[in-house]
Amino acid sequence: MNLLVLGLQWGDEGKGKAIDFLAGNFNVVVRYQGGHNAGHTIYYKGKKVILHLLPSGIFTNNTISIIAQGVVINPIQLVKEIKNISLMGISTDKLIVSMNAPVILPFHQKLDIIFENSRYLKIGTTKRGIGPAYEDLVGRRAVFIRDLIDKDKFYKRVKPLNDYYSKLIRSYDGEEVSINSYIDEYLESGVFLKKHSKNTTYLLNELYMEGKSILFEGAQGVLLDVNQGTYPYVTSSNTCVGGVFTGTGLPHKAVEKVIGISKAYTTRVGEGPFPTELFEEESDFLREKGNEFGSTTGRPRRVGWLDLVALKYSVMINGVNSVFVTKLDIFDEFDEIKVVTDYEINGEQNQIFDPSIDYLNEVEPVFKSFPGWKKSICNVKTFDDLPEKTKYYIKFIENYIKTPVEYISVGTQREQTINR
């Protein structure tokens, strides 16, 4: 069965671990949107590894890992990641990269930083050039992986863009990037990536028709979707279910099941509305316990209670079949755990997550409190063996979102996962 794994919040839900746990059963694992703004943390043989571009299936023998054309690729970063993973003794022979994926160029990163510093609304981007690279795609001037192979072609495609953006960068008093400073490195990366590059649309459709099982690895989270998320505090791609089809070129029926990943609480990096956010000592405690520091940027994550109004919205707009709750063990020492069940606005309560910032900045969260279970659950292997109070918390969530919780993560290791 082909499975889509999506983050249901603002990213960092623990997709890396969930996908690594699930990937063993799949022939193919695909990344289809985003870029190296993602940071999927996996523990491999007890060692922490953070993947930014490589699909998490890379750790599983015989799995074909595909980076499809919806991903914006910084080829220098990708080559670095491939080399690092090879040094760990992991084979990258089954890695395929779309030759039609747009390339992130050095001026994209520069523009990301300039726009962030000059915008009246700061987004808090990862400053990796993701937004400007997608802007070039939509603006019909993108450069692709296939353009990295031939020097003349690359120069012809990139030079006008580089000149255009140099003017813009200078107008912000920035230092322009000369094409000569990066052309050789980019072409070398093209040579390195050549043996991995293919038309992944055809490849994926062939694999699909052969009946191979495919796992689609979403990056970021549903609430960061450029169309359905908390705009403008979003990323520049479609993190929702639709991104799979535009990003891979597979037909809609290729996704047979959607598993949504949600932390037992909520986090967010960057700016934007966050109705259940905690502050001061309460947030420090949760942040420390959950080790909530960005895996891509190292930034301390904003933390808060689980927002069931938001979760229900994410489940609804993606047709989520079941939920994988992560980091439940982080609550082991908590006296009290809360969730938000309603929003109050103008004296009335509702369960509507309208992603507009004007609305979300105004709503007052209505909390429900649960007593903590006050014992370690990190070695529990079955749902039945969890403390009654933990089971109650999980059952409350499923009742609210009307969707089963199929997996529960109680620690960082692959084995610390309860499959109901």
- Contact between 128 and ligand IMP by CB under 6 A: the answer reads yes
Smallest distance, ligand IMP to C-beta of residue 129, A: 8
Name the catalytic one among 40, 52, 108, 196.
40
Report the alpha-carbon distance of residue 377 to residue 167 in Å, rounded: 57
27 binds ligand IMP (CB under 6 A): no
CA distances from 331 to 100, 408, 415 (A): 44, 13, 19
Q: Which stretch binds ligand IMP (CB under 6 A): 95-103, 229-237, 338-346, 411-419?
A: 229-237
Least distance (Å) between residue 40 CB and ligand IMP? 8
| CB of residue 246 to ligand IMP, shortest distance in Å | 17
Binding window for ligand IMP (CB under 6 A); candidates: 5-13, 147-155, 251-259, 284-292: 5-13
| DSSP secondary structure letters along 23-69 | HTT-SEEEE-S--TT--EEEEETTEEEEESSS-GGGGSTT-EEEE-T
Return the residue of 14, 39, 243, 304 that touches ligand IMP, per CB under 6 A.
Answer: 39
**Total residues interacting with ligand IMP, rule: CB under 6 A:** 21
340 three-state secondary structure: strand
Q: Can you tell me the distance from the alpha carbon of 116 to that of 111, in angstroms, rounded to the nearest whole number?
A: 8
Q: How many residues does the chain have?
A: 420
CA dihedral 307, 38, 32, 233 (to 10 degrees): 50
x-or-dash pattern for ligand IMP, window 255-294, by CB under 6 A? --------------xx------------------------
Instruction: Residue 84: count other Cβ atoms within 10 Å of its Cβ.
Output: 13
The interface region with ligand IMP, picked from 32-40, 138-146, 159-167, 284-292 by CB under 6 A, is 32-40
CA–CA distance, 271 with 302 (Å, rounded to integer):
9
Residue 126 binds to ligand IMP (criterion: CB under 6 A): yes
Q: Phi and psi for 367 in degrees, rounded to 5? A: -100, 150
DSSP string over 93-117: TTEEEETTSBBP-HHHHHHHHHHHH
- The least distance separating ligand IMP from the CB of residue 151, rounded to whole angstroms, comes to 30
Active site includes 40? yes
Question: Which residue among 3, 4, 6, 11 contacts ligand IMP (CB under 6 A)?
Answer: 11
**Structure-token match 């939920």, residue found:** 323
Closest CA to 34 of 213, 229, 189, 184: 229
Residue in 220, 276, 403, 417 binding ligand IMP, rule: CB under 6 A: 220
> In the complex, which residue's CB is closest to ligand IMP?
270
| 125 is a contact residue toward ligand IMP (CB under 6 A) | yes
CB 107 within 8 A of CB 166: yes
CB 267, min distance to ligand IMP, A: 8
Catalytic residues: 12, 40
Residues forming contacts to ligand IMP in the complex (CB under 6 A) are: 10-12, 37-39, 123-126, 128, 130-131, 219-220, 224, 233, 235-236, 269-270
